[in-house]
Amino acid sequence: MFEPNSALDPFFEPDITFHVSHWPTTWGWILLLVVGLVWVGTKLRKVAMKWWRNRYRREALGRLQTIARLPSKDAFLAAHELLKIVSVHVYGREVVATLSDADWYALLNSSLHTPAFNRELEFVAHDTLYRNKEVARERASAYLSAVGDWLRLHSLEQSDA
C-alpha cells in the first residue's frame, strides 16, 4: 500500500499480541456475575410462571372472540357458560357450586377494582337463563364485554403476584 521509506529502516517494530481473558480476574466480579445471573434467572422464571398460570385467560378470551360472532341469545348463553367454566377453574368447584347467582356475581366483582357486572346485567342474565326471554343485541354485547373485562382484569392475590 505504501512505498517503503528508507528513513525508517533502522526501526524495527515487533508484533505485540495481547491475550486478554474475558473472564473476571477477581472474586468480586465473579460474585457480581453470579448474582446477576441468579437475578435474571429469577425474573425469567417469574415471567414464565405468570405466563403459564394465565394460559386459561388466553384460551377463554380466544373462545369469547368466537362466541361474539354467534346470534345474540346463543352468544349470551355461551358466554355465561364460559364464565362459569372459568370461575370454577379459578375459585374451585366447591366455592362456585354453593353460590346463588347474586353471590356468584358478587364473588366475580370482588376480584376486580371496578365491578364488571352490574345489577342490570344480573337481571338480564336471570331472565335469559331461567325465564327463557330473548336478549337484545346491545345487552348481549354488554354482557360479553363484561365477561371479557373480567377475564382480562380479575386477579387473585396468591397467584398473580
Model confidence band, residue 1 (pLDDT cutoffs 50, 70, 90): low
Using CA atoms, how far residue 31 sits from 18, 27, 87, 159, in Å, is: 26, 6, 46, 32
Q: Give a three-class secondary structure readout of the chain.
A: CCCCCHHHCCCCCCCCCCCCCCCCCCHHHHHHHHHHHHHHHHHHHHHHHHHHHCHHHHHHHHHHHHHCCCCHHHHHHHHHHHHHHHHHHHHCHHHHHCCCHHHHHHHHHHCCCCCCCCHHHHHHHHHHHHCCCCCCHHHHHHHHHHHHHHHHHCCCCCCCC
At residue 29, the pLDDT reads: 86
Domain boundaries of the chain, sorted by first residue: 55-153
Model confidence band, residue 158 (pLDDT cutoffs 50, 70, 90): very low
CA dihedral 138, 142, 145, 151 (to 10 degrees): -140
Q: Is the pLDDT of residue 24 over 90?
A: no
At residue 147, the pLDDT reads: 94
- Residues 62-116 pLDDT 10s: 999 999 999 988 999 999 999 999 999 999 999 999 998 889 999 999 988 888 9
- Residues 139-155 pLDDT 10s: 989 999 999 999 998 88
Average pLDDT of the chain? 87
Tell me the chain's radius of gyration from C-alpha atoms: 31
Average pLDDT over residues 14-27: 78
- How many CB atoms are located within 10 Å of the residue 86 CB? 22
